[in-house]
Amino acid sequence: MRKLIRQPLEDVAACLNRLAESGRPGRTLGIVLVSLLITWFIYVPIHEMLHVLGCVATGGSVSKLEIAPHYGGALFAQWFPFVVSGGEYAGRLSGFDTKGSDLIYLATDFGPFVLSVLFGVPLLRMCAKRRRPILLGVGVVVGLAPFYNLIGDYYEMGSVITTRIATIVGAGGGAIAFEGIRSDDIFKLIGSFLLRPGDLGLHGAGSIAVGALLAAVSMVLAVILSLVTYAMGHGVACLTVGPGPVQADHDAGG
């Protein structure tokens, strides 16, 4: 676990060190910020469409994808019949059918992060080895996506796994135990726990306590899954970009 936690921290620190080496750090930082902002607006709809791809490619179906207007929702709605321009989030896959399969559910959640593994983390590692401020913003948005999606997609993946295990342990039939804690918005889930636990299918102090415990375990699992995702990208980066600066210097000295 220590190694998993250290990898992203070391990569980001190496990128910052490269920025500090610039003769004009203010200008370099400005380039990074502009690159990050532009990438974010491009990445949001791509992220949501990859959720769709993950669902459909594994046998599910999609009926509604919300994309905010300032992220191109109206334009995407003209191209794809399931896209709706608007919603309370920047983007959200609010209508999809997993055919009762948790594997399809997990593939739907994980779809966008294939881009982090194959492209984002290697790019971040490249920027850690060479000063590429215009690419660093891209690397941060795409490569670090698992971490800023902890309270959304990754919590949801964790909750799918924990509720499935709870169902198996409880020898449940077709119904998923504590299905109400499956959510792509941990803050909204906490609000429901505090104010409307009945909406989550939780009735009585015992049921609420077990549900809260499963939600906490799901969050821990979400952190582990995000670190593993980054480690997968780290492995791809070692094959495509080469070892990081620290490792490269050590090898050279040896």
Are 213 and 204 a contacting pair, CB within 8 Å? Answer: no
- Read off the pLDDT of each residue in 23-39 and give the average, rounded to a whole number: 86
Q: Does residue 75 lie within any of the structural domains?
A: no
Report CA 202 to chain centroid distance, whole Å: 27
Give me 63's structure tokens.
């009926």
Measure CA of the first residue to CA of the last residue in the chain; give whole Å.
Answer: 27
Is 90 exceeded by the pLDDT of residue 176?
no
Q: Does residue 199 lie within any of the structural domains?
A: yes
Amino acid at 75: L
Share of the chain above pLDDT 90, in %: 65
Q: Does residue 36 lie within any of the structural domains?
A: yes
Q: pLDDT value at position 213?
A: 95
Q: pLDDT value at position 173?
A: 59
Phi then psi for residue 2, to 5 deg, are: -60, -40
Q: pLDDT value at position 249?
A: 40
Q: Give CA separation, 110 vs 104, 114, 159, in Å.
A: 10, 7, 13
Alpha-carbon gap, residue 19 to 104, rounded angstroms: 41
Q: Does residue 79 lie within any of the structural domains?
A: no
Alpha-carbon gap, residue 249 to 254, rounded angstroms: 9
Model confidence, pTM: 0.89
Beta bridge mates, 96:
62
Share of the chain above pLDDT 70, in %: 93
Is 90 exceeded by the pLDDT of residue 134?
no
Is 50 exceeded by the pLDDT of residue 248?
no
Among 97-101, 164-168, 241-245, name the one with the lowest average pLDDT: 241-245
Are 116 and 18 a contacting pair, CB within 8 Å? Answer: no
Q: Does residue 35 lie within any of the structural domains?
A: yes
Q: Does residue 88 lie within any of the structural domains?
A: no
pLDDT band at 253 (very low <50, low <70, confident <90, very high): very low
Domain of 205, in residue numbers: 2-60+98-249
Q: Does residue 189 lie within any of the structural domains?
A: yes
Q: pLDDT value at position 128?
A: 80
Beta bridge mates, 95:
64
Number of folded domains in the chain? Answer: 1
- Read off the pLDDT of each residue in 82-87 and give the average, rounded to a whole number: 92
Give me 23's structure tokens.
């003769």
